[in-house]
Amino acid sequence: MQQHLPQRSPADTPVLQLFLMGTPHLLFNGQPIPQFRQEKVQALFAYLAIEARQRPVARAYLIDLLWPGYAPKSGQANLRTTLYRLRQLCLPYEIIKSNHKEIQLCPQPGEFWCDWETVTNGSPPIEPQGRHPELMEGFHLPDCPAFMGWLDEQRGLLRQRLAQAAREREPSPLHAGVGPIPEHRPPVGRETQLAQLHTWLVAQPGRLVGIFGMGGQGKTTLAATFARSLEEGDFELILWSTLVNAQPWTALFSEWVHTLTHAPRCGCPTTWKANWPCSWAWPANAGCSLCWTIWRRFWKRA
C-alpha cells in the first residue's frame, strides 16, 4: 500500500490528528488523509486511541471485538492486515507498538493527538446551538456486536461528561451580572493576595479596592479567581465589567441599573460627574460588588 503524504516545509511541526467526534477522520499536518475510510481501520484506531494509551490490548481480544466468529488463523490474518494499513497511514511516525500478544498506542510527544482527549480531560467541545457531535457519528458495524456495545458505552459516557460540563458552565445566581467572569487557571503563589482581598471585601467590607500593576502581571486573573471563590451569602450579586472596548458610560450604567433593580433599561445622566455618584449608590443599595478590569484605560477615556 503506497502512502501519499501531504507536502510540508522543514520548519513545520508534523502532527497526526485523529477526530472521533462526529464523522471519524484523520489529518496529517492539517491535511486530511483520504485513505482513512475503511471501517475496520477506523474502528481499530478508535479503540486503540481510547483504550490502549495507558496499557496494551491483547490481540486475541481485538480479534474477538472486530472479527467475531472467525477461525483463529483467519482472525489473526485480518488483524495483521488492518494493523499494517493503519501503520501505513501513520507514517512517518511509528506510534503503534506490538508483539505477538499485545498492541499499544505509544506516540512520542507532538506526534499524535485525538479529540477524545479533550473530553476525558474535562474540556468537551462547544458546538453552535448547543449540539454536540456524537462519538463516531453514524458509524456502525453490524457484524461486530461487541465493538458496537463498547462504542455505545463510550457514547453514553460522552453524554454524561457533556451534561456535567454544561452544568458547570451555567452561571450561578451569585455570578449573574453584566458580563461573564472570565475563566483563568488559578494563579500560583497568590494565596496571600487572595486572602487580603477576602479580608478587605468580605470580612471587613470596604467600598473600593484597586488592583494595580504592569500589564500581563495577572491582575484580571487575580480578580476573576477571587470573584469565583466567593460563596453564597458573601454578596447578593457580582457585576463583572471588562472595560476593553466597553460601551459608553450611559449604556453601561443603564445595564447596571437594569441588572440591580430589574427595572426597564432607561437613560442615565450623560456626564461623568453625574454618573460617578450613581455608580456607587446603586451597588451599595443593592448589596453587591463591582468588578472592573482595565480600569486605568477606561478612566482615561472617561
Architecture of domain 16-121+131-169: Orthogonal Bundle (1.10)
Rounded to 5 degrees, φ, ψ at 103 are -135, 140
**Per-residue pLDDT of the chain in tens (302 residues, 90 and over written 9):** 444 343 333 334 548 999 999 999 999 988 999 999 999 999 999 999 999 988 999 999 999 999 999 999 999 999 999 999 999 999 989 999 999 999 999 999 889 999 888 776 655 555 544 567 889 999 999 999 999 999 999 998 888 877 777 666 655 444 445 456 777 666 777 788 888 888 888 887 766 888 887 777 778 888 888 887 776 667 777 777 776 666 666 676 677 666 666 655 555 555 555 555 555 555 555 555 555 554 444 444 44
Rounded CA gap, 122 and 13, in Å? 26
Cα angle for residues 114, 116, 120 (degrees, 5° grid): 125
Sorted by sequence, the CB contacts under 8 Å of residue 22 that are 6+ apart come out as 133, 134, 137
Smallest CA-to-CA distance from 20 within 184, 133, 132 is with: 133
CA-based end-to-end distance of the chain? 68
Q: Give the residue extent of every domain in the chain.
A: 16-121+131-169, 174-301
